[in-house]
Amino acid sequence: MRESEKWVADELQRMYSEMHRMIRQFVPREQWNDILRHKGWRPPTDVYETDTSAVVRVEIAGVEKRDIEISFANRVLTVMGTRRDPANKLTYQQMEIKYGGFRTDVFLPWAVKEKDIEASYEDGFLVIILPKARGRHKVPIVIIEESAE
């Protein structure tokens, strides 16, 4: 292996290790192990922020509401479920749609008002609104000059 290839491999390993260290810092080991064990597919997921909340939009067309499970713990939103194959046991000519178990995990960097989380499912999109918890306030501090005694 050439020196430049070794450097690239070493750098990738360093970044991989750093990523895992950061994840372990924020996600409890048991929860992280659940994520790593999941063997299903991951649906396309968008996450965006407004002034008051985070909005998570998951594309899961064809999934029944009863087959969706949503949970939130340790600032991690987990959406999991199953999309059932309607043509079960048929021979496909072409198969591009993923069936079976799915899971997506969204890590949020801020606290959430857990009791106020709302979810809706329409036109194949699951939309979850996670209101931000009131954060810290910036309070200006005035430095008072010391009096000469």
48 shares a domain with 19:
no
66 shares a domain with 5:
no
123 shares a domain with 82:
yes
For residue 53, give the 3-state DSSP assignment. Answer: strand
Q: What is the DSSP letter of 114?
A: G
Q: Which of 83, 63, 71, 50 is nearest to 126 (CA)?
A: 63
Q: Is the distance from CB of 56 to CB of 49 less than 8 angstroms?
A: no
In the block, tokens 């950061």 appear at: 22
Instruction: Establish if 149 belongs to a structural domain.
Output: no
96 shares a domain with 33:
no
| Rounded (10°) CA dihedral 33, 38, 42, 48 | -20
29 shares a domain with 3:
yes
In sign, the C-alpha dihedral spanning 81, 86, 92, 97 is: negative
Tell me the one-letter amino acid at 95.
Answer: M
Residue ranges making up the domain that contains 5: 1-37
82 shares a domain with 62:
yes
| Global confidence as pTM | 0.68
- Indicate the number of domains in the chain: 2
E-strand spans in 9-134? 45-49, 53-59, 68-73, 76-83, 100-107, 118-122, 125-131
Q: Could you list the pLDDT tens digit for every one of the 149 residues in the chain?
A: 677 777 888 888 888 888 877 777 776 666 666 666 667 899 999 999 999 999 999 999 999 999 999 999 989 999 999 999 887 767 878 888 889 999 999 999 889 999 999 999 999 999 999 999 976 556 677 787 776 65
Instruction: Establish if 143 belongs to a structural domain.
Output: no
93 shares a domain with 24:
no
61 shares a domain with 23:
no
**Gyration radius of the chain over CA positions:** 22
Instruction: Establish if 100 belongs to a structural domain.
Output: yes
76: CATH: 2.60.40.790
Instruction: Establish if 75 belongs to a structural domain.
Output: yes
Instruction: Establish if 139 belongs to a structural domain.
Output: no
15 shares a domain with 59:
no
Instruction: Establish if 20 belongs to a structural domain.
Output: yes
Q: How crowded is residue 15: how many other Cβ atoms within 10 Å of its Cβ?
A: 10
86 shares a domain with 25:
no
Euclidean distance between CA atoms 108 and 26, whole angstroms: 10
